Structure 1
C-alpha cells in the first residue's frame, strides 16, 4: 500500500543552512501562529528552538529578547 505525504505534517530537524526531513510529510506548523507552511516555501526557523515560522516578522517577534 502506498502512503501519500500530502496532508501530513513532516518531522523536521532545523540546521543553520537548511533542514532535514526526519519523518515524511508535506508541511510544518508555524510555532507562533499555527499556520500551515508547505515545506517547499519554508524559509524561517530557529535552530536553537527547533521551531518553524511562517514569516520573517513572526520569526523576529518570537526570537526578540524579552
Structure 2
C-alpha cells in the first residue's frame, strides 16, 4: 500500500483505491467505511472496492455491500 509518510495528519484521508493498494490524495489517519459509517485507521484498512472507490471496515461488510 502506498501511504503518506506524514502520519501526524489527523482527520479523514482521501484515497485512490487500486487493485493492489491505495494512494493517499489527502493525508489523514482514517477513512470512513462506506457500509457502516465507522472510521477505519489507514494501517487497518484491508478491504475496498476499486470500481466504487469505497473503503470497508471488514470482509463481511465488503461482501454485503457488493452483493448484486
Runs of 4+ in 1 over 6 A off after TM superposition: none
User: Which one of 1, 13, 18 corresponds to residue 15 of structure 1?
Assistant: 18
Residue-by-residue CA offset, 1:3-44 (whole Å, 9 max, x unaligned): x412x1000000000000000000000001001000001000
Count of equivalent residues: 61
Structure 2 residue ranges without an equivalent (≥5): 1-7
Structure 1 residue ranges without an equivalent (≥5): none
| Mapped pair 1:51 → 2:25 | no
| Mapped pair 1:29 → 2:32 | yes
TM-score in terms of structure 2 length: 0.87
From the CA coordinates, give the structure whose radius of gyration is larger. Answer: 1
What is the Cα-based RMSD across aligned positions, in Å? 0.7
